[in-house]
Structure 1
Amino acid sequence: MDEQLTSANYLASLTAALTEYQDFPQITAKIQAVKETVLAYQHRQLPAQPLPPLEFPVDLTFDLLESHPDILTVESRLNDLRECVIENFGVWHLFSQPWVEDLATYLGDRPTVQLMAGNGLLASQIQTVHATDNLDWQGQDITQPQPWTTIEQLDALAAVKKYYQTTAVFILEWSPDGVELDAEILQFLRDQQWSGEFLVIGEANGATNSARFWHMADYQVIPVLNRQHQQFDFINDQVFIVH
């Protein structure tokens, strides 16, 4: 994606694609879903529905190549979504209102601390979640912190050491690829024989977290937290419980 592409320009390109492909609902449904996601973030809201897979049907793409030679460009533009929201809104993990509702039900009234909370989108939606982040990602991918809620400025390991005796759940959401602080957190919790739940949202052995962490971790997918959290692009991030 062009570094200069703003969310406004991205939305304009989606609107144009909706007009061009108005006779092909299999395509326009995906374009509209991406458009609604960007519009939601523009208004500091979460998307009302999870994103569908953004890849176009192969047979339809092949059939339309002659009459619509830009179809592969349009498909590629949809897959720029994650980069668009990273650069414009400081959002790496894309989730929806239905998924947050599932998570809120799962957490109940248990005190929860979110580590590496970024702009605090998740904590802004669930009252029992306390957001922490050292905000050292400022300037990464040209982003600037614009918190949706109060963020306690703490390094993730420092936050764990501060709160492990008083919190029931830690959430680590999209920890940066290759940064081994996640492994240090897991080792600390094991050393303390901590009895709470450590929830990790990311792509196992992929785009998030360190290789050391995935090697150390005993992790399982939580079905109830993944039914509204499905892969939509090339990154298969999931919700895990880690021991």
Structure 2
Amino acid sequence: MAYENILAAAENGIGVITINRPTKLNALNRATIVELSEAFNAFDEDSAVRVIIVTGSGEKAFVAGADIAEFSEFSVEEGEQLAALGQKLLFDFVHNLATPVIAAVNGFALGGGLELAMAAHFRIASDNAKMGLPEVSLGVIPGYGGTQRLPQLVGKGRAMEMIMTAGMITAEEAKSYGLVNHVVPQAELLDFCKGIALKIMKNSPVAISKAIKAVNASYTTSGFDVEIVAFGESFGTEDFKEGTTAFLEKRKAEFTGK
């Protein structure tokens, strides 16, 4: 299948999905989310594909966030719908996929990019990667599962700090936090991920799918629903309007707390 915003190819049982919007640092717009959902679903339904690797094109970014211009004028209802649909189509979908998904984080993974990486079953980072959830600097919160998956991976305290400061951490810091499993030179990233994929492929696909389901079950809460509502409510604040306007105008935001 031909895609406009991603590349998808399978070889030797490994499907590789590449977000391919290099001029936008692979930012996630709605069309890209739909295409990613379709590609993940196609590989999951292909019995010949045993492991899926998701990465970004180029050397700068895995995914540098969401396409803010798409939602800067959204209402509360539209914001909530954006989060709910995105989680259903892609983030929760990947999280619960029966086929193992490895995120090869090859550069910036910010906002929705880090949320996509966290939805994968585990993450490998290149040594130049930087990760963060900068949403509060725009007057909004992570809306694609970030407030739920980050604490699960790094603990509540580190997650709170990352979310509240809107700062970035390095690949080595991410490894020390438990956010990524390994850090490797960028030129070796994809081959390293494929090496792990080959180890996975020696084992029972049925057992692996059941293990994924069992591990995920231990984290089942209503938190994702809370996040969706809170994300939508952010769109009704003056701070959100100021944050997104300042971003698009390339200036520092001046928040009023309203």
Instruction: Output the TM-score relative to the length of structure 2.
Output: 0.26
More strand by share: 2
Larger RCO (CA under 8 A, 6+ residues apart): 2
Instruction: Output the TM-score relative to the length of structure 1.
Output: 0.27
More helix by share: 2
Looking at CA atoms only, which structure, 1 or 2, has the larger radius of gyration?
1
